[in-house]
Structure formats: C-alpha cells, structure tokens
Amino acid sequence: IINKENKALDFNKIYLEKKEISINIIKNFIEKYKVDIVVIGNGTASNETYEFIKENFNLPLSIVNESGASVYSASEIANEEFPNLDLTDRGTISIGRRFIDPLAEFLKIPVISIGVGMYQHDMNQKELETKLSYVIEDVVNLVGINVNTASIYLLKEISGLNLKSAKKIYNNKPYKNREELKKILSSKAYEQAIGFLRVVNSKEELDNTSIHPEQYEVSKFIIKNQIKSYPKYEKELKSIYPLINEKVYEDIILAYNDMGKDPRKFEAILNIEKTLNIEDLKIGDIINGVVRNILQFGVFVDIGIKNDGLIHISELANKFIKDPHEIVEIGQSLKVKVIGIDLEKGKVKLSLKF
C-alpha cells in the first residue's frame, strides 16, 4: 500500500492459487486504506494478476513498466531507503511509485537497466551517465516537483540543492506551504530552489506554480487587475517589483495559466478489454497498443503480452519514410494489425497498414 505522498504504508503477499485467502487479504487492505487504484507490474504473472483483480474487485487497474525494479531493489539507494525490507518488497514499492511519479523512480535506476532501447549497453558508460545527469537536471527543473511526494534523489537534482539539503527537506515533510521551507533551507538555497518546488495543496495558490515568492506581490497585482499590456503598466509594476521586465511579466502570466499542469506528455495507459497471451493472437487481429520505444528500424508496441510487438519501419505507412518519428511518438495509443507470430521466440510482428 502506497499513499499519495509516495510513502509505503503496508505490505503483504498473495498467492493466486490460494484464491479465498488472497481475496480476504486484498479486501482488508482496500477497506483499511480506502484504496483508489491497483497497480500491476508488466512482468511475471501480470496477466493472471490482472484477471484476478478484475474478476474479484471493482477498482481501476493500471499496468506499469517494471523494467529495472529488480536492479533498484538490490541497489545502495534501495538499501538506504528501506534497510529493513527484503528485495521483493523494495521492488514492489518501486513499481507502485512509478504510477504516481515515474520520473522520481526511474532516476534511481542505472540507464542501462531502464529498458528503453538496445544500444545503451554499447556506449561508454561514464559518458552516458554524464549526459544523462545533464538531461535529468534540465528535465527536473523544467517540470518542477511536488515537494511532498518527491524522493531525496529527485530533490537533489533541483538547482541550489544537494544530497544533504534534499534529505532535510524529505525528512521534514509534509509541507503546507512554501514558507515552511524557509525553516529547512539556508537563505541562499531557498532563493535558488524554491521556484522549482511546488506545494500542491497550499492555501497560497502561487505555491503550485513556477513563480518565485519574491514575485508574488506583483503577480497578484497583475492577476487581480487582469493586466493585458506590460508597456501600459510598466511604471506601476516596477514600483512593486523593480526587477520586472516584459519577459518576466510574460513568464508570470504563463506560469499562472499553467498552474498545476505538467509539461510532460505522459504515456497512455494500455486499454485492455481482456488479458492476452501470445497464444491468444492470430494473424489479422486488430488490437490496441501503446508505443513504448522507437528505433531507426521500427517501433516497439505494448499490446498487453509479455514482450512488446514490433512494427518494422516498412509497416508504418503506405509510403516511404526515413524516420519512424515522422509517424509515431512514444506514449501514443495505436490500433495495430497482427501480421506475424513466432510462438517459440515470443515475438509478434505488427503493422499500421490496414
């Protein structure tokens, strides 16, 4: 059981062959913790678990990618986070947390274990990790983070924070507003980091934006008076906040309008009417899928079985294309046609040409 702040509350194990015992365990959890959704990893026994929950409980279900969960569970990070838990429970937490905040969880896994392609193993690992660290820092600061759900390892990527200050923030949550973070951080760290830290349920609505607290007064003036033209009010605005200019004004408007929004495109959740095994498929079937990976030669699509199906680049369109990105993007929902099945190797060939 994981709450909305990403905190693990309780654990248990079920065995599907012991149906009545398993139903009672889950029923008690649902009643005790007011469970909203059940998250299932896409690995071993995923289909059987999906069917079991669907048949016995009226709750939403989500299947998430569990790549790297076992690597995380045996890592130093997992040992530091959960020193008293076994590897299975650690991996389970990682899978559940991915539904709430995938960025925060995937940060803890080595890039070669994320399962996003086939070439990361062939690259210089030090260079790859360096490049990834730059990308992570850029993305985290672009997106901003919910300070009450973020892990230590996500917090430390924020400008102005390090591992020590990230731990202080993490160990003193939850926070009701940004003001409370002043008691935790040095004035310099607060000034640098606070614009990237969101307090979603704060009574001060601007705490859930990228607007810096030092700009709150001028922001409220702009919002209250519905100012549409910077030049017309420049003098008045500068009297409130001397550092304002037209770019800052535009950023304030944009941040306020985007309050609570996430700039990322989240992957679609695969809509499965029933669970599938490769043996259930036949040539010519039209099924739902979600794009999981794009390579030069084709596209891997999650169709609800153990292995993703492949759409070769030649099967993406009724015309010549140089790059699969011309047709699809990661996270996109698709209707795909089954054109090949290899039961021995567990591989399925798909097409968009139908």
pLDDT tens-digit series, residues 179-189 = 999 999 999 99
Of 178, 208, 238, the one marking the end of a domain is 208
- Kindly state whether residues 51 and 94 are assigned to the same domain: yes
Per-residue pLDDT tens digits for 9-61? 999 999 999 999 999 999 999 999 999 999 998 888 887 898 899 899 999 88
Average of pLDDT values for 209-237? 95
Tell me the pTM.
0.63
Higher-scoring residue by pLDDT: 213, 269: 213
- Structure-block tokens of residue 96: 């559940």
SS3 content of the chain, % helix, strand, coil (to 5): 45, 15, 40
Give the CA distances from residue 301 to residues 38, 170, 335, in Å, rounded to whole numbers and listed in that order: 23, 37, 10
Nearby residues of 119 by Cβ (< 8 Å), 6 or more positions away: none
pLDDT band for 258, please (50, 70, 90 cuts): confident
**Is a pLDDT exceeding 80 seen at residue 196?**
yes
User: Beta strand pairing status for 145-146 and 197-198?
Assistant: parallel
What are the DSSP calls for 60-106, one per residue? -EEEE--TTHHHHHTSHHHHHH-TTS-HHHHHHHHHHHHHH-HHHHH
**Is a pLDDT exceeding 90 seen at residue 86?**
yes
Q: Is residue 271 situated within a structural domain?
A: no
Average of pLDDT values for 131-149? 81
- Kindly state whether residues 159 and 191 are assigned to the same domain: yes
Cα–Cα distance, 274 to 270 (Å, whole number): 11
- Domain range holding 171? 123-208
Cα–Cα distance, 85 to 90 (Å, whole number): 6
Q: Which residues pair with 146 in a beta bridge?
A: 198
Q: Is residue 7 situated within a structural domain?
A: no
Q: Is residue 5 situated within a structural domain?
A: no
Give the CA distances from residue 194 to residues 97, 109, 138, 168, in Å, rounded to whole numbers and listed in that order: 24, 26, 16, 14
How many separate domains does the chain show? Answer: 4
- Kindly state whether residues 230 and 201 are assigned to the same domain: no
pLDDT at 175: 96
